């Protein structure tokens, strides 16, 4: 039941820092989730903690470094790879081999192989194992010495839903026995159910460390949501009281900087009818994306067209994002000026006066069906493939604060 | 260290390739020995040559330059697998979390590999001895027969250790196997040809450099002293058996030192 203390862990690859000055604790009796975007340095950190990589810093288990532990498998169990075994060595022999190195009784081999549900295939060769079975054998390896500490890198990868459920319950059970469980995973929903504490890193540096509830509470996606009959007045009055208001696409207002009692009281004071008043709690995923948005090593584009840009979060640390330079005007119209549409009295969309537009030249056939023939639409009187009348289609435009929404459809300012 | 030795002994015993490689080494040695014994049985061997022929058969032909040592590549591949499997299947992390002391891991691997290879070589020699007694009417062992026999065991062990060290250097089993097989079969003959060609054309001194080719030196260390210069011609002054054995082991130890340093200093 060891307290893990990682101090100033650092590692560079070819001059590039993979982990830098990382310090955190993992307390006994808890499952501590280890989160970070791809390339954040999670696996490198775990290898540093186990003395597998040469780097700076030190990790101690109840004050003792890993390489100084006598019979380390009895103190720390770990899984770092999905299938870390020889494909033709029997599963039971793989465990026996590790057991003899740490003077672990052979009866324990049978115990753990049954515990992870591989009793029926104990004498099978792992080359026939699925990824999930490989993960289970890896877990059996970690549990072999009945250690007080478990370090697991993505242990749920490849497990089926039953396997994930089993893993979650087992780790919580092991933690309840006073063990320290340190587990990385990309399955944030799973981590939300499993972990008590979190260590969040990005680009090799610590972003957050502590209780999960505290981490989620820092998300700016926590808000009071209110739907009222006079959103304009409500917004104005909230801003007067220094609350931040974001208009939601469905007409609701998301408010931060004021609690629900205050919002309800204000609505009452303004004699505004309230249709909905609720607290919106950020999920772990939202909090994680908020916290690590600037720390992504690799990011994908969401697509093209309006709204395209970084998949999640903002620009990389220290880099300029897609918005206008600080203090400069973005693509929207200057404050107080006319948005959408041509200036009053000027020509809007369409050909200049006297010029030919996009239609067919006068006297020629356009793209429609030949006269008297049926086109591509549904037969007269029948419903086509489009949405039913009144359904589907984009919602009416809302007045978002995002200046990019003020951009003219043709890309120019108006 | 005890834990590391137990681990490595269990490791080598629980993979089929250990038995395949050892079995093939014994089979090839016994086959060569049987062919040589049948050949000698039907030949009219001079009385004075009987002891030399007996050693030739006993060492599966290793004591004469004309016969290849077919068992050595199998031991070399075993050595490559001792370390190469760790990288190929990613078991090095499991190994080093069980035994964080890398020097202990390296030592245990070398000791167990050496013990396994030497045990197999002794079995091979005993089998060869039985075949010798079976086919030869009056086998005679000279007082110098121990030397080719000992160097035969050393040659096989050296190749196994070289394979083990090359895997640690390359962190790649296939690369290590290719290198340990092609070095004696391709690289050294090419260098030898070039050096002897230069020696014959202009500079006789450069021919001496061929004595420094470790695999060739190892092969030469098993020869009967009588046959030491066979195949080398007059343009090369060939070093003695003891010196050749030293050159072979110096080369092997150099590769081992590089491999161990790489294993200790690198990330797992």
In tens, the pLDDT along A176-229 reads: 999 999 999 877 888 888 889 999 898 888 888 888 888 888 787 888 999 999
**Residues linked to residue A205 through DSSP beta bridges, in sequence order:** A202
Which of the two residues, B231 and A35, has the higher pLDDT score?
A35
Cα–Cα distance for residue pair B171/B180, rounded to 1 Å: 14
Q: What is the dihedral of CA B71, B73, B78, B81, to 10 degrees?
A: -170
Cα–Cα distance for residue pair A5/A28, rounded to 1 Å: 11
Nearest to A330 by CA among A247, A401, A248, A236: A401
Among the partner-chain residues A52, A90, A101, the one whose CB lies closest to the CB of B267 is A52
Q: Record the tokens describing residue B100, joined without a space.
A: 């964080």
Q: What's the CA angle centered on B220, arms B214 and B226, to 5 degrees?
A: 160
Chain centre to alpha carbon of residue A342 = 41
Cα–Cα distance for residue pair B214/A163, rounded to 1 Å: 55
Among the partner-chain residues B7, B91, B96, the one whose CB lies closest to the CB of A85 is B91
Which of the two residues, A91 and B45, has the higher pLDDT score?
A91
Among the partner-chain residues B15, B90, B98, the one whose CB lies closest to the CB of A101 is B98
Cβ contact B97–A53 (<8 Å): no
Cβ contact B267–A103 (<8 Å): no
Cα–Cα distance for residue pair A354/A54, rounded to 1 Å: 76
**Residue B263 CA: distances (Å) to CA of A59, A282, B80, B170, B267:** 22, 47, 14, 10, 8
> Is the pLDDT confidence value at A309 over 70?
no
Cα–Cα distance for residue pair A288/A377, rounded to 1 Å: 47
Cα–Cα distance for residue pair A103/A81, rounded to 1 Å: 24
Cα–Cα distance for residue pair B93/A85, rounded to 1 Å: 10
Cβ contact B98–A50 (<8 Å): no
Work out the pLDDT band at A253, boundaries 50, 70, 90: very high
On the 0-12 / 13-18 / 19+ scale of CB atoms within 10 A, B225 is exposed
Residues of A in contact with B97 (CB under 8 A): 50, 52, 72-73, 76, 78, 80
**Residues linked to residue A34 through DSSP beta bridges, in sequence order:** A184, A199
**Residues linked to residue A5 through DSSP beta bridges, in sequence order:** A25, A60
Instruction: Give me the pLDDT at residue A403, please.
Output: 38
Cα–Cα distance for residue pair A272/A237, rounded to 1 Å: 11
**A-interface mutation test, from B82, B86, B97, most A Cβ less than 10 A away:** B97
Q: What are phi and psi of A248, to 5 degrees?
A: -85, 155
Which tens digits make up the pLDDT trace of A71-89?
Answer: 999 999 999 987 888 999 9
Coil, strand or helix: which one is A54?
Answer: coil
> Is the pLDDT confidence value at A270 over 80?
yes
Distance from CA of B69 to the nearest CA of A (A): 29
B14 → chain A, closest CA residue = A89
Distance from CA of B101 to the nearest CA of A (A): 7
Whether chain A has a CB inside 8 Å of the CB on B17: the answer is yes
Cβ contact A52–B93 (<8 Å): yes
Interface of A with B (CB under 8 A): 47, 50-54, 66-67, 69, 71-73, 76, 78, 80-81, 83-90, 93-94, 96-98, 100-103, 141
Residues of A in contact with B7 (CB under 8 A): 97-98, 100-101
Distance from CA of B9 to the nearest CA of A (A): 9
Per the CB < 8 A criterion, the answer to whether B54 and B135 are in contact is no
CB atoms within 10 A of CB A86: 26
Order of all β-strands in the sheet with A223-228: A244-247, A253-256, A223-228, A274-280
Q: Which strand (E) or helix (H) includes residue A284?
A: helix A284-292
Among the partner-chain residues A67, A84, A96, the one whose CB lies closest to the CB of B100 is A67
Per the CB < 8 A criterion, the answer to whether A58 and A50 are in contact is no
Distance from CA of B87 to the nearest CA of A (A): 10
Interface of B with A in 150-209 (CB under 8 A): none
A103 → chain B, closest CA residue = B3
Instruction: Give me the pLDDT at residue A362, please.
Output: 53
Cα–Cα distance for residue pair A389/B73, rounded to 1 Å: 79
Which of the two residues, B170 and A131, has the higher pLDDT score?
B170
Cα–Cα distance for residue pair A376/A184, rounded to 1 Å: 54
B265 → chain A, closest CA residue = A54
How many residue pairs bridge chain A and chain B with CB atoms within 8 Å of each other?
A: 82
Distance from CA of B153 to the nearest CA of A (A): 29
Residues of A in contact with B100 (CB under 8 A): 50-51, 66-67, 69, 72
Residues of A in contact with B84 (CB under 8 A): none
* Mean pLDDT, range B155-171, rounded to an integer: 95
Among the partner-chain residues A53, A72, A89, the one whose CB lies closest to the CB of B15 is A89
3-state secondary structure B146-175: HHHHHHHHHHHHHHHHHHHHHHHHHCCHHH
Instruction: Give me the pLDDT at residue B102, please.
Output: 95
Among the partner-chain residues B94, B265, B268, the one whose CB lies closest to the CB of A47 is B268
Instruction: Calculate Rg over the CA atoms of chain A.
Output: 30
* Mean pLDDT, range A89-98, rounded to an integer: 94
Q: How far apart are the first and last CA of chain A?
A: 66
Instruction: Give me the pLDDT at residue B44, please.
Output: 72
Whether chain A has a CB inside 8 Å of the CB on B10: the answer is yes
Q: What are phi and psi of A272, to 5 degrees?
A: -100, 135
The β-bridge relationship of strands A30-35 and A180-184 is parallel
Helices and strands: H and E segment counts in chain A? 10, 14
Residues of B in contact with A150 (CB under 8 A): none
Whether chain A has a CB inside 8 Å of the CB on B231: the answer is no
Give the global pTM.
0.74
The DSSP annotation for chain B comes to -HHHHHHHHHHHHT-HHHHHHHHHHHHHHHHHHHHHHHHHHHS---GGGHHHHHHHHHTTTTTSTTS--TTHHHHHHHHHHHHHHHHHTTTHHHHHHH---HHHHHHHHHHHHHHHHHHHHHHHHHHHHHHHHHH-SS----TTTHHHHHHHHHHHHHHHHHHHHHHHHHS-HHHHHHHHHHIIIIIHHHHHHHHHHHHHHT-GGGGGGGGG-HHHHHHHTTS-GGGTTTTT-TTS----HHHHHHHHHHHHHHHHHHHHHHHHHS--
Distance from CA of A215 to the nearest CA of B (A): 32
Order of all β-strands in the sheet with A56-61: A16-26, A4-13, A56-61, A64-65
Instruction: Give me the pLDDT at residue B214, please.
Output: 92
Distance from CA of A196 to the nearest CA of B (A): 26
Instruction: Give me the pLDDT at residue A318, please.
Output: 43
Work out the pLDDT band at A390, boundaries 50, 70, 90: very low
Cβ contact A73–B98 (<8 Å): yes
- What is the predicted ipTM? 0.86
Cβ contact A54–B14 (<8 Å): no
Which tens digits make up the pLDDT trace of B96-128?
Answer: 999 999 999 999 999 999 999 999 999 999 999
Which of the two residues, B195 and A147, has the higher pLDDT score?
A147
Instruction: Give me the pLDDT at residue A276, please.
Output: 92
Among the partner-chain residues B6, B14, B15, the one whose CB lies closest to the CB of A101 is B6
* H helix intervals, A123-240: 131-143, 161-176, 188-194, 212-217, 231-240
**B-interface mutation test, from A55, A65, A95, A97, most B Cβ less than 10 A away:** A97
Residues of A in contact with B265 (CB under 8 A): 54
Per the CB < 8 A criterion, the answer to whether A70 and A106 are in contact is no
Interface of B with A in 42-101 (CB under 8 A): 85, 89-91, 93-94, 96-101
């Amino acid at each position: 039941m060891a307290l893990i203390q990682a101090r100033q862990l650092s590692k560079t690859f070819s001059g590039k820092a993979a982990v830098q000055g990382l310090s955190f604790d993992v307390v006994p009796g808890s499952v501590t989730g280890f989160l970070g975007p791809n390339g954040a340095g999670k696996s490198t950190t775990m290898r540093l903690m186990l003395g597998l990589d040469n780097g700076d810093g030190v990790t101690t288990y109840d004050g003792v470094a890993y390489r100084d532990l006598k019979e380390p498998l009895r103190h720390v169990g770990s899984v770092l790879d999905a299938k870390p075994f020889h494909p033709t060595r029997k599963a039971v022999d793989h465990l026996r081999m590790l057991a003899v190195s740490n003077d672990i009784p052979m009866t324990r081999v049978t115990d753990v192989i049954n515990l992870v549900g591989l009793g029926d295939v104990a004498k099978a060769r792992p080359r026939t194992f699925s990824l999930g079975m490989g993960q289970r054998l890896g877990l059996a390896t970690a549990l072999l010495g009945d250690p007080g500490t478990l370090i697991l890198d993505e242990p749920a990868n490849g497990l089926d839903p039953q396997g994930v459920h089993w893993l979650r319950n087992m780790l919580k059970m092991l933690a309840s026995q006073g063990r320290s469980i340190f587990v990385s995973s990309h399955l944030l929903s799973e981590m939300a159910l499993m972990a008590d504490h979190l260590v969040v890193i990005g680009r090799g540096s610590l972003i957050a460390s502590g209780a999960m509830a505290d981490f989620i509470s820092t998300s700016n996606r926590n808000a009071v949501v209110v739907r009222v009959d006079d959103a304009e007045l409500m917004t104005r009055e909230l801003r007067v009281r220094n609350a931040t208001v974001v208009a939601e696409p469905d007409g609701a207002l998301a408010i931060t900087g004021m609690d629900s009692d205050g919002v309800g009281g204000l609505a009452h004071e303004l004699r505004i009818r309230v249709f909905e008043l609720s607290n919106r709690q950020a999920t772990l995923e939202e909090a994680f994306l908020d916290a690590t948005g600037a720390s992504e090593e690799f990011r994908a584009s969401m697509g093209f067209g309006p709204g395209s840009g970084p998949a999640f979060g903002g620009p990389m640390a220290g880099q300029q994002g897609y918005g206008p330079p600080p203090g400069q005007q973005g693509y929207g119209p200057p404050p107080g000026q006319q948005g959408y549409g041509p200036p009053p009295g000027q020509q809007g969309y369409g050909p200049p006066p006297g010029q030919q537009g996009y239609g067919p030249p006068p006297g020629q056939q356009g793209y429609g069906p030949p006269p008297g023939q049926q086109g591509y639409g549904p037969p007269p009187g029948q419903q086509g493939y489009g949405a039913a009348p009144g359904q589907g289609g984009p919602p009416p435009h809302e007045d978002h604060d995002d200046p990019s929404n003020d951009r003219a459809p043709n890309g120019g300012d108006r | 260290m005890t834990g590391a030795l137990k681990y490595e002994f269990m490791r080598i015993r629980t993979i089929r390739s250990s038995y395949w490689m050892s079995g093939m080494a014994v089979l090839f040695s016994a086959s060569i020995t049987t062919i040589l014994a049948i050949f000698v049985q039907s030949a009219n061997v001079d009385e004075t040559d009987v002891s030399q022929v007996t050693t030739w058969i006993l060492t599966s032909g290793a004591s004469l330059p004309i016969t290849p040592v077919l068992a050595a590549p199998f031991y070399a591949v075993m050595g490559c697998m001792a370390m190469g499997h760790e990288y190929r299947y990613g078991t090095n992390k499991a190994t080093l979390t069980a035994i964080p002391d890398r020097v202990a891991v390296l030592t245990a691997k070398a000791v167990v590999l050496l013990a396994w290879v030497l045990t197999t070589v002794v079995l091979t020699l005993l089998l060869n001895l039985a075949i010798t007694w079976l086919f030869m009417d009056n086998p005679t062992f000279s007082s110098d027969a121990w030397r080719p026999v000992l160097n035969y065991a050393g040659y096989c062990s050296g190749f196994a250790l070289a394979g083990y060290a090359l895997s640690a250097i390359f962190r790649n089993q296939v690369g290590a196997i290719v290198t340990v097989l092609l070095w004696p079969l391709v690289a050294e003959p090419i260098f030898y040809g070039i050096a002897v060609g230069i020696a014959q054309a202009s500079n006789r001194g450069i021919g001496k450099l061929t004595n420094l080719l470790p695999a060739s030196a190892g092969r030469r260390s098993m020869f009967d002293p009588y046959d030491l210069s066979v195949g080398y011609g007059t343009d090369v002054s060939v070093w003695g058996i003891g010196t050749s054995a030293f050159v072979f082991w110096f080369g092997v130890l150099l590769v081992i030192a590089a491999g161990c340093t790489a294993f200790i200093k690198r990330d797992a």
